[in-house]
């Protein structure tokens, strides 16, 4: 399966500010040498040598992650503002069919759907899955007057809604998909996708607590032995202690959780909207040190960046 990160930011879209761009430019200028501008090739090599937080960005769009299975089946997790970008740049689904799985229906996870081009194409079918019986009502409300000019009734004919339950295994294309409920205000559901023995876990908007380290068969089916886990790592410990019951995790708790469930690779996700790229890089370096401390070389740590693609 191919996994594409279209939106990785938490809570609210956060475009780069002018000050953040100036900070990146200043950091780049501090590193430049005369030989780095001797030719176009030298300039490009210099840019390529810069750390990601200077030459790029983690991105400011809210959660949307696309999986394309080996048979072309197209699975989307959440419909945050990253979904609008997906609509502009992603290849159309091979079967004119999207499978949209919702972790929950907070604003940052649904706000991209009304701006997703394919939602207005009557030839593309959407199957929407979640454990929330009111899922259709929630999407209708978002697009009702005065919040949006186009009502959901204008697109609903090619949307099908499927109520699923934790522990239930769905067969979609060449994969099996299942979910479990996690701690978050109003609840949130984490998903596992298994194809050809490879497991990808989508675990956003979770506030990891002691109960999550208690083994249950349902949680083991989702989290155990994941090849890749995309996990809520919004806070530092200090911030998480000030925001108890806000529904998000400190990065070190996410690492402890992933290590306990024997994950191979962790992508930190749902980034705090007040953290710029430099701060996120500092957190990433701290997370790598901590992961090495708790696991040795058993677990790899990275940060989810908008536009990145991984293959399992």
CA-based end-to-end distance of the chain: 5
Task: Give me the pLDDT at residue 94, please.
Answer: 85
pLDDT for res 14: 97
pLDDT by residue for the chain (312 residues), tens only, comes to 999 999 999 999 999 999 999 999 999 999 999 999 999 999 999 999 999 999 999 999 999 999 999 999 999 999 999 999 999 999 989 899 999 999 999 999 999 999 999 999 999 999 999 999 999 999 999 999 999 999 999 999 999 999 999 999 999 999 999 999 999 999 999 999 999 999 999 999 999 998 899 989 999 999 999 999 999 999 999 999 899 999 999 999 999 999 999 999 999 999 999 999 999 999 999 999 999 998 887 899 999 999 999 999
Burial of 294 (0-12, 13-18, 19+ CB in 10 A): middle
What pLDDT is stored for residue 296 in this prediction?
A: 85
pLDDT given for residue 169 in this prediction: 96
Rg of the chain over Cα atoms, rounded to whole angstroms, equals: 20
Question: CB neighbours (10 Å) of residue 16?
Answer: 14
Longest CA–CA span in the chain (Å) reads 63
């Amino acid at each position: 399966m191919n996994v594409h990160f279209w939106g990785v930011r938490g809570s609210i879209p956060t475009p780069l500010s002018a000050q953040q761009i100036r900070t990146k430019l200043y950091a780049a200028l501090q590193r430049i040498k005369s030989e780095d501008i001797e030719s176009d090739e030298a300039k490009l090599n210099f840019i390529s040598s810069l750390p990601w937080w200077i030459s790029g960005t983690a991105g400011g769009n809210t959660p949307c992650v696309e999986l394309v299975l080996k048979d072309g089946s197209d699975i989307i997790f959440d419909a945050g503002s990253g979904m609008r970008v997906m609509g502009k740049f992603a290849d159309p689904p091979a079967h004119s069919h999207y499978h949209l799985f919702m972790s929950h229906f907070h604003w940052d996870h649904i706000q991209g759907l009304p701006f997703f081009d394919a939602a207005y194409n009557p030839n593309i079918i959407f199957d929407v899955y979640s454990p929330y019986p009111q899922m259709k009502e929630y999407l209708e409300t978002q697009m009702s007057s005065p919040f949006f000019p186009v009502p959901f009734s204008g697109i609903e004919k090619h949307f099908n809604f499927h109520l699923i339950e934790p522990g239930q295994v769905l067969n979609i294309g060449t994969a099996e998909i299942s979910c479990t409920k996690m701690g978050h205000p109003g609840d949130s559901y984490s998903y596992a996708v298994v194809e050809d023995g490879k497991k990808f876990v989508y675990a956003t908007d979770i506030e990891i607590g002691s109960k999550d380290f208690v083994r249950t068969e349902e949680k083991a089916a989702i989290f155990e032995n994941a090849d890749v886990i995309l996990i809520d790592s919004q806070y530092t410990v200090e911030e998480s202690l000030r925001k108890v019951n806000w529904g998000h995790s400190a990065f070190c708790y996410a690492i402890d959780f992933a290590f306990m469930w024997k994950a191979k690779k962790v992508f930190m996700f749902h980034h705090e909207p007040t953290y710029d790229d430099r701060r996120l890089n500092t957190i990433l370096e701290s997370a790598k040190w901590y992961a090495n401390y708790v696991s040795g070389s058993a677990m790899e740590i990275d940060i989810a960046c908008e536009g990145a693609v991984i293959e399992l």
